[in-house]
Amino acid sequence: MQSDLEFNKNEDQFKQLVTQLQHKAKKIKLGGGEKKIDEQHQKGKLTARERIQYLVDKDSRFLEIGLFTAEGMYKEQGGCPSGGVVTGIGYVAGRQCVIVANDASAFDAETNHVTLITGDGKVEWLPELPKSEVAKAIIEHAVELVR
């Protein structure tokens, strides 16, 4: 009986910790926050995660690695979610790539580019992806570079 109570207590504590982690991840994924995201959109720019979503193959997943980078650091400056960079692994044109995108919403950067690193070590720098039809052309060019 005592072990059942202990198990239930541990399970409840674990579930609370998972919920806290999920809330923290959701907040971090907003980068510099909704206001900064709106500012990016008003400038005609996509956020880092939006650019990655456009870039990776449809029906594939992007595995983000480094979501909690710089967590709790630079508080005096307003923080720096994910270290100001979204990094992960995704498929582009059927090839697995490391994808690195600067998050201008997180640290007021002027550059908004994406870097692709393919399995054979080939590195491609993609220009900023504007929030327009031009983005489609740039992504198609990126896919050709990776092939």
User: What's the pTM value of the predicted model, to 2 decimals?
Assistant: 0.70
- Whole-number pLDDT of residue 15: 97
- Whole-number pLDDT of residue 82: 80
Give the best-scoring range by mean pLDDT among 4-13, 96-105, 137-146.
Answer: 4-13
Give the Cα separation of 25 and 7 in Å (integer). Answer: 27
Residue 124: closest CA among 102, 105, 141 = 141
Q: Is the pLDDT of residue 14 over 90?
A: yes
Question: 114 pairs with which residues across the strands?
Answer: 101, 126
Which of the residue ranges 9-13, 25-29, 70-74, 133-137 would you say has the lowest mean pLDDT? 133-137
- Decide which of 3.90.226.10, 3.40.190.10, 3.30.300.30, 3.30.70.520 is the CATH code for 31-146: 3.90.226.10
Q: Is the pLDDT of residue 129 over 80?
A: no
Name the residue ranges covered by the structural domains of the chain: 31-146
105-128 tens-digit pLDDT: 776 554 455 555 655 666 665 554
